[in-house]
Each structure stands twice: as structure tokens, then as C-alpha cells.
Chain A
Amino acid sequence: MTQTLLDRPPAGHDPGPGPGMLRRVLARVEAKHVVVAVVVLLLGYLVLVPLGFLLWRTFVADDGSAGLGGFARAFPNDSDTWAMIGNTLAFAFGSMVVSMVIGGGFAYLAERTDVPFRRLLSLSALIPLIIPAILYAPAWIFLGSSNIGLLNNVTGFLFGIRPFDVYSVWGMIWVQSLHSAPIVFLLLSAAFRAADPSMEEAARVAGLGRWRVLTRITLPMVKPALAGAALIVFVQSLEVFEIPTFLGLSGGHYVLTSKLYYLYQEYPTDYQAIGAIGIGLLVIACVGVWLAGRAGGSLRESGTISGKAFRPRREKLGRGKWVAALFVLGYFVLAVVLPLLILLYSSLLKNYEQPSLQALGDLNLDNYRTLFGDSGIIHSFEHTVVVAVCAATAAMVLSAVASWVVVRTRSSGRRLLDALAFSPLVIPGLVFGVALAVVYLRTSLPIYGTLVILFIAYTTRFIPYGMRYAGAALSTVSAELEESAHVSGARWFETMRRVLLPLAAPGLIGGWVYILIVSFRELQSSILLYTPGKEVLSVTIFQEYQDGNTTLVSAIGVVLVVVLTVLVVISQLIAARRGVRNQ
């Protein structure tokens, strides 16, 4: 990307009369400088608080002495440590590859080909995200356990074999990939949709085959989104706790987060060792950032939405169309229908029992009556809506401006800003919760003990997602459009409002929706930070689960899927009405 007019002061701008350097500097300040400064300060504050806490607790002991003792205790030089690091990397890398293949493949099919059942793919991207994590792994145990799994029961009945084992490394990777594939799908769909197909068409006219067009033209065009998606799912898999715990323990597959929670149970809590694991994850993530940068290029890749209008042309798959359709249907059944059916079935029972004729006789609606009659559950849902909507909006506003700095300016600190905004992703939720509690307990403002602390936690934790969405969306819009607006006399604010944001809206709305959904799921910090009487839904779900009300939790999961799906559809309709390009 070349230097643009955006980095220069506006033409003909008069610094104004008056002596003094300060006056001249202030006279050159524009709205964009104020907005960018405020956003950078806010973002820096939000991120540096937990990050600073992590570093402080890692390198400074309780008695005030500095040292690396935490690393020695967290990573003793034995075979267990190496096995744990190996398991963590294998799990994260395997999940990244599988989710990239699934999410990326389906995004390509949905946006660039005439594959049937495209709308099913959007649902497949949404629903696995909404199902509470605490239920998703057990749902897969009921499907893929070698002893009681429904899939094994079916293959056992039909072919006499029981091939699935969800408790294996592959089982862990599969379940995590289904959880991660949606963000890959959402990020790459937006990128594919925004990419100008004229170059692909030119390549086809020039005689290039389908595979070469894909690898030489299409994929390089969406390199920023590819790199961003791969990085996010890799880091997400490093940090995830529920799936290795539910599925990995029985096979002895311990990962770094298992160790982290093990350390948290000890007294006195060894925060130095916990911090050392956090730093270990951060180092792995930084290597990931570096590799992603080398493999996929930076977010500053050249834009592909130009001033010319275009209509994406879908490639005809020919005879392969119905093979692809079968894959789409198969994935929809595996990722959406089966887990949802298991949830629905479970929600109609008092206690979970394997599907049978006798069990069918026990089905009833008691859990739904309890759910809608329980004011605690209803209130926690209301609290969650408030916090999630505010956090998603704040995170996307901050991300949009910060991404603009990263993508559009030549500011020397842009890479630092990008890295800073990415780092919350890899700070474990537990460390995050402890850090915010420690900091805000010491401020007199009404933050600790209110919903505001959860708003701060969610906004900060999910800014990395916002940055990937916003970065991918902005980088696909050519800078020449902004330059044209600028040359035509539009100020920065107006250019953003009338040119850049509408064009980048699909990606930005996609990010907002994603953060909204993951805010409903967030538990690791919420359980440490919530206030009595102001529970959020993830905490209520966890508590009901702890009470043994697993089938009631299933009912909450079903209702959540319905409500959030409606919410997402409404938000997309509103966006479409306001004139932005429909997703």
C-alpha cells in the first residue's frame, strides 16, 4: 500500500494566525486526531490493566522481590511439561487446520459458488456459537462417546462397528473445530463477499483452471482475513478450557490451561506460576502473530473494493454442485441439527437418559415452565442483553477506529497498537477476572460490584475479535475511495460516515454479532466478577448446571439459540434497511 492523502494535512488548510508553537499545533488538530487519540488511550488503558497485572504478578513475588521463580514452578524440566506443551500445540494446530478447512471451505462455497443450501451455512456458523460451551462438549459426548454415543449406536446397529471416540485427541480437535469454524466462516465470508471478482474472471478468461484461480487469485485476495482467522482460532484453542477438560482428561491429554486451573486451586495461590503460564501462552501467540504476518501478509494488504461497481459472479460447480451440496447438508446435520436435537431432547426430560421408547414416554415441558417462571433466570437474561449489547458496540467502535489506524495510516505505532489490541485474546479468562477485580476494588468509582465491570471485561476480552473483523473489512476497501472523498472536500468524519463505514459495514456488523454471541457465553471472568443480584446468563447456566439441573440448562440453551438467532436476523435487517450492503 502506498502513501495516501489521508496521512497528509488537508490541502489548503490554514494553520491560522497567532504566535506560539502550541497554538500552531492545536490549530492543526483535526477531529480524526482527537478521535484516534481518545480511542488509543482507552484501548491502551483497557488492555494494559490486565496485561500489566499479568506481567507484575509473573515477575514480582508477594514479598516484592523480582524473579523468574514462577516459570520454574509452572514449567519444571520434566517429561510432563514437554508432553503438556506438545499436547497444547498439537491441539491448537490441529483445531486451526480443521476449522480453517471447514470454515474457509464453506465460506468459499457460500460466497463464490452456486452451491445449493447456502442459507444453511449461515445457520451452521451461528448456532454452534450460541450453544453454551458447558453443554456443547457433553452434547458431543452423548453423540460420540464409544460407550453411549448415538452415532456409535447407529453405526453399531447398521454395520457392527463403533468408530467414533470423542475422548481422543481427534475428538477434542473435532469438537473445538466445530466451535471455531464459525468465526473462520464469518470472517472469510465477509472477505470473499467484499473481494472484487474481476481479477478472477480475467484469470479464467486467460485460461487458468479452477484450482489455479483459487490458489493464485482468490486466496491471495483474502490473505488478511485468512491470516487473521487462522491466528484467532489458533489462539482460541490455546486458551480454551472446557473441551480439553471434558474430553482430554480421561485419555491423559493435559494442556496448559489444565495446569493453570490446577494451580488456581492451590493455597496460597501461586500467581507467579499462573502468570508464567499466561506468559507462555502469550509467547506462543506472538509466534503465531509473526507466522501469520509472514504467511498471510499484514492487515495493510491492498484493498479490493474499488470505486468501480461490481457484482460478485458465482462460479458454476457443474456436476460437483450436488457433491458440495451433500457436504453442506452433512455439515449442517453434524454441527447444528444433531447437537440441537440432543439439546432439545434433553430439555424435555427430567434427567438425561439414552434415547429409547421408554424415554420418549417421559418427555414433558416442565423445564420450560420452570425457565419462564423463574425470575432469576429472566433477570440474568436481561442483564446479559444490556452488557452484551453495550460491550459489542463499544468493542466494535474502538476496533473500527484502531483498525483504521493500523490499516490506513503509516503511524509508527500502528503495529504496536495492533499487537496491543490482540493481546487480550491470549490472557486466560481467569487471569483477566482476577486482574480486573484487583484493580477496580481499589478505585472509588462504582465499577466493582456493578455490571460495569462485566462491560469492561467483555469489551476488553473481545476487542481482538472486533479488530480482526474491522481490519479485514477496512482492508478490503480501497484507499482511493477515501482519497476521492477527501479531494472532493469531505472531511475525515464525513468520509468515515458516508464512505468507509457503509462499505465496511458487513464486516463490522459481523463483528458486532460475533461479540454479542460470545458475550452470552463468557463465563471464566464473569464467575469471578459478577455481583450478587446482578447475575448474567452464563453464571446462571453454570449455577444451574452445578445444581445438577442439566436438562434445565438444555432448555435454556434451546431458548438462547432461538432468541439470539432472532436478534441476529433483526440486526441484519436493520442494517440492510439503513442502506448498507446486505450480508
Chain B
Amino acid sequence: MLEKPRQRLACLLAVACLGGLTAACGFPPVNTEAVAVYAKFAALKGKSRHDQLVDAAKAEGQLVIYVTNTAIEKKIVPAFEKEYGIDVAVYRATTEQVRGRILQEAGAHRVLNDVVETKDSEMAILGGQGLIAPYESDIAGTIPAEAKTDDMVGAYYIATLPIHNVRLVQPGQLPPDLAGYADPKWRGKVAVDQGDFNWYEDVYNYYTKQKGMSDHDFAAMMKGVAKNFRVVDGHVSNTTLLQAGDFPVFLSDFLQYVPSRAKDLSFQPAMEPVTLQILGADPMKGAAHPAAALLFCDFYLTEAQKYLHDAGYIPTNPAAIPGYQPRLPEGTDFVYDDWRTLASDRGNAWQEAWSNLLKGKDPVLPR
């Protein structure tokens, strides 16, 4: 039984606690000096830059990275920590979740990560908000121009292409091009992911801009193929179902989900177009550990390339991998993600067009 003074005290405490919960003040300030650190190291080159950067990064001692790549946590981060003795904390989620988290934190004037690792169109969104710093170093000069966007020096590509189960379909039974999947014998057997509107736009660009097909013909072809679609959600889970034999072909699957020695899955012969998303890491403008952030970005474009390759991605700097052997044959026709469009309002229009196609509605192209 509570005594009366205690009761009153309890009341006061309860009110005080609730008031305290809603209080807003006293955050650590966003590091405005990070940009100066980036500028300092951008002016340096070669071994001198690297040595000074390592010293500065070690003095910072830690790093927080927000990533989407599945290979980072188990291979790349341990290798980085081992080489430089810097503790790395990793937040990993989908590209939309990473973007949402950074924008929410920025909305509260807080920058809690040093590096963001994501895909081209998402990086363009973050760049548009002025949240990331351009990555500048002499390493960037070794990366091919097609792997660079306005906001990022890409570290690897994700290749999207049809993958099939060899127990259910033999290479000779596969159609040579996309239009071949309009045959009624493929009804319900061709899986596509409901989120792959970027792939749809890439395919549109390939057929209309490279092959000269009209919008009308493209729409008619895709409507024919879409009648046979089996709409799924999630590349990983549905690659498992593809492997288990639930359906024979996953039209918009990712290359990295086919292990080098996969028993039942194959992407060969690779049907064109093979589309590529560019992914990479950028330092944050308000990073608390800017030198460590830069060092990680360097690492991502050099030593980490072999881990990215091992994980099934296509590295942008294969020269950093001794004895590199590409998984896709030389001369494969690639189409790069139109990240500028995808990061703009037109990106939502493509998402809607893709959704219409999957539901059998019009229009199947953005107006």
C-alpha cells in the first residue's frame, strides 16, 4: 500500500517522465568538417594519399555504413576490419528502406552513417537531397565511364537476365528472344518480380532505342508475353522455388543467385538484353568519420572487388582481381539502368506502367 506522499510523488514522476520523452534538444551536431576532409584527400594522390588516409581513419577508429549488398557483412567488412583495425557497424536493408532511413534521419538533422551503399537510382535521390559527398580519388580514374553516375563511382553491377531450371527445360526449348515467351505453352511458367519496373524500362530502351521497335509494337509484344507471366515477389525466395521446380523460368532474375556450380539453374544461353544496375558506395556529407568513410570507399573499389565477384556480382574494376574470369561471355549486349529517369517522377510512371502490364490493364507504357 502506497503512502499518500509517495502517491503524489509517483504522479509527479509519471508526468515528468512523459514530458521528458517528448523533449527535443541537445543532439550531437552534424559534422560539417567532413567535406573539408574529403577535399583534402581529393587533392592527394597515390601512396601518400593512402598512407595519410589510413592514419586519419585509424585515428577515427570506427565507421557506420548503411548497405544493401548481401556480401558486405560477412566477407568485405571483416576483411576491412582486419586490414585497418577499424570497427564497422552495418545496417543492412532493402534499397527503399535504406533510402527511407537516411531521409528520415536527415529530416531530423541527424547523420548517423558515414557511408551509404546502394544502387544508381537511389544514390541519385540521395544526391538530389544533397546528402552525399562526391567520391574523388585516383582510384576512380581506373573505373570505366559506364560504371559512373553523377553521384557515384560504381563498384559492381547486378545483371538481370532469364534463369531457367535445367530439369524442367532444356536449352534448345528456350526461345531466342523475349517475344518467344508469348507462346501459350509458357502460360504461368514465366516468373517476373513485381518490383522489376527498372528491368521493364531497360527492356523498352533496348527494343525501341537499340532495335528500332515502335512503342506500339513493343506494347503489343509485352502484352503477349505478360499473358504468360507468373507474378512473384522477392528474387531470393523465388529463385529457391525455381530451383525446387515450382516453375521453369524466372525472366527477371539476378545473375548472382546462380552459383558457379549450380546443379539445377542456368542462365546459358544468355538471352539479350542483359540489363545492368550500377551499385556502389559513397561517403556521407555529414559523416562523423569521414576519413574512415573514404578509406572504405577506396577498399570497395579495390580489395573488395574479389569478394563482390565471388558473390556473383560483376565487378567494375576487374583489374583488381588476379586471374579474373567473367561469368558472362565476351560480347554480351548490356543495357544499363536509366537511373536518371528512375530517380525522377518518370520512375513512378514506369512503376505504374509495369503494374498495369502485370494486371492486364492499359496503358502499359508511361504517358
Complex contact A444–B348 (CB within 8 A)? no
- The distance in angstroms between the C-alpha atoms of A38 and B351, with both chains bound, is 48
Complex contact A246–B233 (CB within 8 A)? yes
Does B43 sit within 8 A of A, measured CB to CB?
no
Complex contact B236–A249 (CB within 8 A)? no
> CB-CB contacts of A300-329 with B at 8 A, as 1s and 0s?
000000000000000000000000000000
Contact of A142 among B112, B230, B244 (CB under 8 A): B244
Complex contact B246–A34 (CB within 8 A)? no
Does B325 sit within 8 A of A, measured CB to CB?
no
Chain A residues whose CB sits within 8 angstroms of the CB of B1 once the complex forms: 31, 491, 493-494
Complex contact B23–A445 (CB within 8 A)? yes
- The distance in angstroms between the C-alpha atoms of A532 and B26, with both chains bound, is 22
Does A8 sit within 8 A of B, measured CB to CB?
no
Chain A residues whose CB sits within 8 angstroms of the CB of B11 once the complex forms: 29, 34, 37-38
Looking at the assembled complex, report how far the CB atom of A311 sits from the nearest CB atom of chain B, in whole angstroms.
35
Known contacts A31-B2, A45-B21, A444-B25; is-contact A548 B233 (Cβ 8 Å): no
Contact of A442 among B7, B24, B65 (CB under 8 A): B24
Complex contact B244–A148 (CB within 8 A)? yes
Contact of B240 among A34, A147, A352, A530 (CB under 8 A): A352
- The distance in angstroms between the C-alpha atoms of A136 and B264, with both chains bound, is 24
Contact of A528 among B97, B240, B244 (CB under 8 A): B97
Does A27 sit within 8 A of B, measured CB to CB?
yes
How many chain A residues touch the partner (CB < 8 A)?
A: 61
Looking at the assembled complex, report how far the CB atom of B94 sits from the nearest CB atom of chain A, in whole angstroms.
8
Contact of B231 among A42, A252, A262, A445 (CB under 8 A): A252
Chain A residues whose CB sits within 8 angstroms of the CB of B195 once the complex forms: 265
- The distance in angstroms between the C-alpha atoms of A494 and B104, with both chains bound, is 47
Complex contact A34–B10 (CB within 8 A)? yes
Complex contact B100–A37 (CB within 8 A)? no
Known contacts A34-B10, A246-B237, A434-B100; is-contact A445 B20 (Cβ 8 Å): yes
Complex contact B233–A546 (CB within 8 A)? no
- The distance in angstroms between the C-alpha atoms of A74 and B103, with both chains bound, is 23
Chain A residues whose CB sits within 8 angstroms of the CB of B26 once the complex forms: 444
Chain A residues whose CB sits within 8 angstroms of the CB of B236 once the complex forms: 545-548, 550
Contact of A548 among B24, B73, B97, B239 (CB under 8 A): B239
Known contacts A250-B231, A266-B348; is-contact A444 B27 (Cβ 8 Å): yes
Complex contact B91–A265 (CB within 8 A)? no
Chain B residues whose CB sits within 8 angstroms of the CB of A437 once the complex forms: 101, 104
- The distance in angstroms between the C-alpha atoms of A479 and B15, with both chains bound, is 31
Does B359 sit within 8 A of A, measured CB to CB?
yes
Interface residues of B in 58-89 (CB under 8 A from A): 64-65, 70, 73-74, 89
Known contacts A267-B99, A267-B347; is-contact A34 B89 (Cβ 8 Å): no
Does B302 sit within 8 A of A, measured CB to CB?
no
Does B173 sit within 8 A of A, measured CB to CB?
no
Does B355 sit within 8 A of A, measured CB to CB?
yes
Chain A residues whose CB sits within 8 angstroms of the CB of B351 once the complex forms: 262, 265-266
Contact of A31 among B7, B20, B73, B99 (CB under 8 A): B7
Interface centre among A38, A138, A262, A441 (most CB of B within 10 A): A441
Measured as residues with beta carbon below 8 angstroms from the partner, the interface class of chain B is 35 or more
Give chain A's interface secondary structure class.
helix
Complex contact B231–A530 (CB within 8 A)? no
Chain A residues whose CB sits within 8 angstroms of the CB of B233 once the complex forms: 245-246, 249
Chain B residues whose CB sits within 8 angstroms of the CB of A550 once the complex forms: 236-237, 240
Looking at the assembled complex, report how far the CB atom of B239 sits from the nearest CB atom of chain A, in whole angstroms.
7
Chain A residues whose CB sits within 8 angstroms of the CB of B216 once the complex forms: none
> CB-CB contacts of B222-248 with A at 8 A, as 1s and 0s?
000000001111101101110111110
Does B125 sit within 8 A of A, measured CB to CB?
yes
Does A26 sit within 8 A of B, measured CB to CB?
yes
Chain A residues whose CB sits within 8 angstroms of the CB of B234 once the complex forms: 245
Looking at the assembled complex, report how far the CB atom of A460 sits from the nearest CB atom of chain B, in whole angstroms.
13
- How many residue pairs, one in A and one in B, have C-beta atoms under 8 Å apart? 154
Looking at the assembled complex, report how far the CB atom of A62 sits from the nearest CB atom of chain B, in whole angstroms.
11
Does B213 sit within 8 A of A, measured CB to CB?
no
Does B138 sit within 8 A of A, measured CB to CB?
no
Contact of B104 among A34, A351, A438 (CB under 8 A): A438
- The distance in angstroms between the C-alpha atoms of A519 and B24, with both chains bound, is 29
Looking at the assembled complex, report how far the CB atom of B72 sits from the nearest CB atom of chain A, in whole angstroms.
11
Complex contact A442–B108 (CB within 8 A)? yes
Looking at the assembled complex, report how far the CB atom of A28 sits from the nearest CB atom of chain B, in whole angstroms.
10
Does A86 sit within 8 A of B, measured CB to CB?
no
Chain B residues whose CB sits within 8 angstroms of the CB of A31 once the complex forms: 1-2, 7
Does B30 sit within 8 A of A, measured CB to CB?
no
Does B93 sit within 8 A of A, measured CB to CB?
yes
Interface centre among B4, B89, B361 (most CB of A within 10 A): B4
Chain B residues whose CB sits within 8 angstroms of the CB of A138 once the complex forms: 237, 240-241
Chain A residues whose CB sits within 8 angstroms of the CB of B73 once the complex forms: 376, 543
Complex contact A80–B359 (CB within 8 A)? yes
Does B107 sit within 8 A of A, measured CB to CB?
yes
Does A364 sit within 8 A of B, measured CB to CB?
no
Complex contact B245–A354 (CB within 8 A)? yes
Contact of B8 among A26, A246, A252, A533 (CB under 8 A): A26
Complex contact B92–A543 (CB within 8 A)? yes
Query: In this complex, what residue of B is CB-closest to A78?
Result: B361
Chain B residues whose CB sits within 8 angstroms of the CB of A269 once the complex forms: 100
Query: In this complex, what residue of A is CB-closest to B194?
Result: A249
Does B146 sit within 8 A of A, measured CB to CB?
no
Does A366 sit within 8 A of B, measured CB to CB?
no
Does B210 sit within 8 A of A, measured CB to CB?
no
> CB-CB contacts of A421-457 with B at 8 A, as 1s and 0s?
0000000000000100110011111010100000000
Looking at the assembled complex, report how far the CB atom of A350 sits from the nearest CB atom of chain B, in whole angstroms.
10
Complex contact B70–A543 (CB within 8 A)? yes
> CB-CB contacts of A47-62 with B at 8 A, as 1s and 0s?
0000000000000000
- The distance in angstroms between the C-alpha atoms of A441 and B231, with both chains bound, is 37
Contact of A27 among B4, B24, B96, B239 (CB under 8 A): B4
- The distance in angstroms between the C-alpha atoms of A30 and B7, with both chains bound, is 8
Does A145 sit within 8 A of B, measured CB to CB?
yes
Chain B residues whose CB sits within 8 angstroms of the CB of A532 once the complex forms: 64-65, 89-91
Interface residues of A in 200-223 (CB under 8 A from B): none
- The distance in angstroms between the C-alpha atoms of A147 and B247, with both chains bound, is 8
Complex contact B70–A547 (CB within 8 A)? yes
- The distance in angstroms between the C-alpha atoms of A528 and B351, with both chains bound, is 23
Does A175 sit within 8 A of B, measured CB to CB?
no
- The distance in angstroms between the C-alpha atoms of A266 and B122, with both chains bound, is 11
Complex contact A141–B21 (CB within 8 A)? no
Chain A residues whose CB sits within 8 angstroms of the CB of B100 once the complex forms: 264, 269, 434, 528
Looking at the assembled complex, report how far the CB atom of B198 sits from the nearest CB atom of chain A, in whole angstroms.
11
- The distance in angstroms between the C-alpha atoms of A37 and B257, with both chains bound, is 55
Looking at the assembled complex, report how far the CB atom of B7 sits from the nearest CB atom of chain A, in whole angstroms.
5
Interface centre among B25, B194, B247 (most CB of A within 10 A): B194
- The distance in angstroms between the C-alpha atoms of A78 and B299, with both chains bound, is 51
Does B179 sit within 8 A of A, measured CB to CB?
no
Looking at the assembled complex, report how far the CB atom of A564 sits from the nearest CB atom of chain B, in whole angstroms.
24
Does A41 sit within 8 A of B, measured CB to CB?
yes
23 of the cross-chain contacts (CB-CB < 8 Å) are: A34-B11, A37-B14, A148-B245, A245-B234, A249-B194, A249-B233, A252-B359, A262-B351, A267-B99, A267-B347, A267-B348, A351-B243, A352-B240, A352-B244, A354-B245, A434-B100, A528-B101, A530-B91, A532-B65, A533-B90, A548-B70, A550-B236, A550-B240
Q: With contacts A41-B18, A249-B194, A351-B243 known, what are 13 further pairs, Cβ within 8 A?
A: A27-B4, A31-B1, A138-B237, A250-B232, A266-B347, A267-B99, A351-B240, A353-B244, A444-B26, A528-B100, A532-B64, A547-B236, A550-B240
Residues of chain B touching chain A, judged by Cβ–Cβ distance below 8 Å, are 1-2, 4, 7-8, 10-11, 14-15, 18, 20-27, 64-65, 70, 73-74, 89-93, 96-97, 99-101, 104-105, 107-108, 110, 112, 125, 188, 194-195, 230-234, 236-237, 239-241, 243-247, 257, 263-264, 343, 347-348, 351, 355, 359, 361
